[in-house]
């Protein structure tokens, strides 16, 4: 079968908080899909995931907007794809029209709920197909923007379940791990409140919060105010190998967000056999089977978050059973291989239809 040629249009590449984009691109290249990456901006951060270099993605990336038409003429892509419905999708639509090929885009979270473009429905109609990461997102797109459900394909981002797998002993005392950007909607302060409750209940634990962002200073202040300096570590941004090491030591994953699309961090935890406690928002209930692979709690409730964590930490056998089920669910529904299979099948259909 002739290899697909796909040009990705991204706002910033690579970005440490968007591991899912780099993973997707690396897997595409491994499958023989030819890719070029048109990045509207250079990354401001120095830290980057090692897989970007390992997969040769740097060499496929163009940053000069003036070079985009030249690159596309030479590469002759059959399709353009963008992540997020905002600036990258607008540019992909423009470029696709110029060279006469279809484009698709994946909608995630902020581009649907926080900063959705005013012409979202128009962009969706112009696209060959809209991809989104959860059924909850699909329902929102239909209701908020009037996009027909048949035009939307739910393809969750995936995790490399061969790399993210259980390995070694869990840390003692039990370790709670949260991997998230330190931004308001992630509600990391609620996790700190839950940790204070656990300590008041006499629960032995440590907590690692892996990620960085604008809320770091206020979280450090809250950690000091709650007397959690010895129990909670604010790790900062981390490369993927370090994130994997944290998951392999964890007894529980946690994500207390007010809003989510489909959090990849919880997929990574599940693939490593770590049960999760998370708020039942967005696509999270599609990821966590309550009572089977982890526990769902209502948003904004530190007490219920703490109670679910206490239940996991206090019963290692329960945690182990839920962890095995979480790993199985990740392999069956949230693997990177499954994600790329679905994307490639969709793109081949669009390219074939365009060629008739």
Helix (H) or strand (E) holding 136: helix 135-145
Q: Is 107 a residue whose pLDDT tops 70? A: yes
Q: Encode pLDDT of 188-234 as tens digits.
A: 999 999 999 999 999 999 999 999 999 999 999 999 999 999 999 99
Q: Encode pLDDT of 232-262 as tens digits.
A: 999 999 999 999 999 999 999 999 999 999 9
pLDDT band of residue 354 (cuts 50, 70, 90) is confident
Q: What is the DSSP string of 149-167?
A: GGGEEE----B-TTTS---
Looking at the fold, whether 12 and 137 belong to one and the same domain comes out as: yes
Percent of the chain with pLDDT over 90: 95
Q: Is 355 a residue whose pLDDT tops 80? A: no
Q: Encode pLDDT of 75-88 as tens digits.
A: 999 999 999 999 99
Q: What is the DSSP string of 277-302?
A: EEE--TTHHHH--BTTTEEEE-TT-H
Residue 329 lies in a domain: yes
pLDDT band of residue 49 (cuts 50, 70, 90) is confident
Looking at the fold, whether 212 and 281 belong to one and the same domain comes out as: yes
Looking at the fold, whether 121 and 192 belong to one and the same domain comes out as: no
Looking at the fold, whether 64 and 154 belong to one and the same domain comes out as: yes
Beta bridge partners of 83: 106
Looking at the fold, whether 179 and 273 belong to one and the same domain comes out as: yes
Residue 32 lies in a domain: yes
Looking at the fold, whether 294 and 343 belong to one and the same domain comes out as: no
- Rounded to 5 degrees, φ, ψ at 288 are -100, 120
Residue 298 lies in a domain: yes
Percent of the chain with pLDDT over 70: 99
What value does the mean pLDDT of the chain take?
Answer: 96
Looking at the fold, whether 258 and 303 belong to one and the same domain comes out as: yes
Residue 167 lies in a domain: no
Residue 165 lies in a domain: no
Domain of residue 85 covers 5-158+335-355
Length of the chain in residues, anyone? 356
Residue 304 lies in a domain: yes
Question: In the chain, how many H helices and how many E strands?
Answer: 15, 13
The predicted pLDDT at position 356 comes to 39
Looking at the fold, whether 88 and 139 belong to one and the same domain comes out as: yes
What CATH number does residue 204 fall under? Answer: 3.40.50.2000
Residue 168 lies in a domain: no
Beta bridge partners of 106: 83, 131
Report the sign of the C-alpha dihedral through residues 238, 243, 245, 247, in that order: positive
Domain count for the chain, please give it. Answer: 2
Q: What is the DSSP string of 208-263?
A: EEEB--TTHHHHHHHHHHTT-TTTEEEEE---HHHHHHHHHH-SEEEE--S--S--
Q: 44, 47, 14: which is closest to 210 by C-alpha?
A: 47
Q: Encode pLDDT of 160-178 as tens digits.
A: 999 999 987 888 999 999 9
Looking at the fold, whether 61 and 13 belong to one and the same domain comes out as: yes
Looking at the fold, whether 40 and 122 belong to one and the same domain comes out as: yes
Q: What is the DSSP letter of 114?
A: T
For residues 265 and 20, what is the distance between their CA atoms, to the nearest angstrom? 10
The predicted pLDDT at position 168 comes to 77
The predicted pLDDT at position 269 comes to 98
Residue 151 lies in a domain: yes
Sheet strand arrangement including 5-12: 61-62, 34-41, 5-12, 79-83, 103-107, 129-132, 152-154
Looking at the fold, whether 209 and 149 belong to one and the same domain comes out as: no
Looking at the fold, whether 148 and 14 belong to one and the same domain comes out as: yes
Q: Summarize the confidence of residues 34-46 as an average pLDDT.
A: 95
């Amino acid at each position: 079968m002739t290899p697909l040629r796909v040009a990705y249009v991204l706002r910033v590449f690579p970005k440490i908080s968007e591991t899912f984009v780099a993973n997707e691109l690396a897997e595409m290249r491994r499958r023989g899909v030819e890719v070029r990456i048109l990045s509207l901006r250079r990354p401001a951060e120095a830290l980057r995931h090692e897989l970007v270099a390992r997969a040769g993605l740097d060499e496929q990336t163009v940053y000069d907007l003036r070079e985009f038409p030249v690159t596309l003429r030479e590469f002759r892509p059959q399709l353009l794809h963008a992540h997020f419905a905002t600036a990258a999708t607008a540019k992909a639509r423009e470029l696709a029209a110029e060279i006469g090929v279809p484009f698709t885009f994946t909608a995630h979270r902020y581009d649907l709920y926080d900063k959705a473009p005013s012409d979202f429905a128009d962009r969706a109609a112009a696209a060959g197909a809209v991809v989104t990461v959860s059924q909850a997102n699909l329902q929102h797109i239909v209701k908020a923007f009037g996009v027909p459900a048949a035009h939307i394909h739910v393809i969750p981002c995936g995790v490399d379940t061969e790399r993210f797998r259980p390995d070694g002993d869990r840390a003692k005392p039990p370790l709670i791990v949260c991997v998230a950007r330190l931004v308001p909607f992630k509600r990391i302060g609620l996790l700190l409140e839950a940790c204070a409750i656990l300590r008041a209940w006499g629960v032995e634990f440590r907590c690692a919060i892996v990620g960085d962002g604008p809320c770091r200073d206020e979280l450090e202040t809250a950690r000091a105010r709650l007397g959690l300096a010895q129990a909670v570590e604010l790790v900062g941004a981390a490369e993927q190998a370090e994130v994997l090491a944290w998951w392999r030591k964890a007894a529980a994953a946690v994500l207390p967000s007010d809003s989510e699309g489909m959090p990849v961090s919880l997929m990574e935890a599940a693939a490593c056999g770590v049960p999760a406690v998370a708020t039942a928002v967005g696509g999270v209930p599609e990821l966590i089977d309550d009572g089977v692979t982890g526990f769902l709690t209502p948003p904004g409730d530190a007490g219920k978050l703490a109670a679910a964590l206490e239940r996991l930490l206090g019963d290692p056998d329960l945690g182990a059973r839920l962890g095995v089920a979480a790993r199985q669910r990740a392999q069956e529904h949230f693997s990177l291989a499954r994600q790329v299979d679905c994307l490639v099948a969709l793109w081949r259909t669009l390219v074939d239809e365009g060629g008739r």
